[in-house]
Amino acid sequence: MAKTKSILKDVGSSPTDVFEIQYGKSGLLIRVDPDLTGRAVYFGDPIGFRVLDEGDLLEFWEDEDYDSNGWIFEVVSGGWLDYERSRKGFFSSADRGDITEYLVATGSDCVNILSMSDPRIIRSAT
């Protein structure tokens, strides 16, 4: 079972979907329902990310510490990073030092992020 720690509890309505993902040399930007939250999450040093339907991540919702009022989580154990570290071919963990897994959770799509830096919450332009 995955263990999570809530980083940001939403003020008002929780986001229902990922609106847009931008990835490039400057980092990773994830916009969630700009009409509801007006927020985006920025990672300056991501090493990977994946997008899955929330139904494919049931192990997170079963975690007794899961906070349904939150939408950005640090994945403490049992997530994608632990899986990648179990593979012989995953060299990023040894080459790049401290990697943290984060989860941006919505009622539809969810994004797992492996990052060398903490997320930064910014106001999203609609």
Its domain, for residue 16, covers: 3-123
Mean pLDDT of 68-75: 77
| 12-57: pLDDT as tens digits | 456 668 889 999 999 999 998 766 667 789 999 999 999 988 767 7
**How far is it, in rounded angstroms, from Cα 42 to Cα 33?**
15
Mean pLDDT of 90-119: 82
The count of domains in the chain is 1
pLDDT > 90 fraction of the chain, expressed in percent and rounded = 26
Sheet with 109-115, strands from edge to edge, namely: 3-9, 70-77, 100-105, 109-115, 46-53
The identity of residue 90, as a single letter, is F
Per-residue pLDDT at 22: 96
- Of residues 10 and 21, more confidently modeled: 21
Question: pTM of the prediction?
Answer: 0.79
Q: What is the CA radius of gyration of the chain?
A: 14
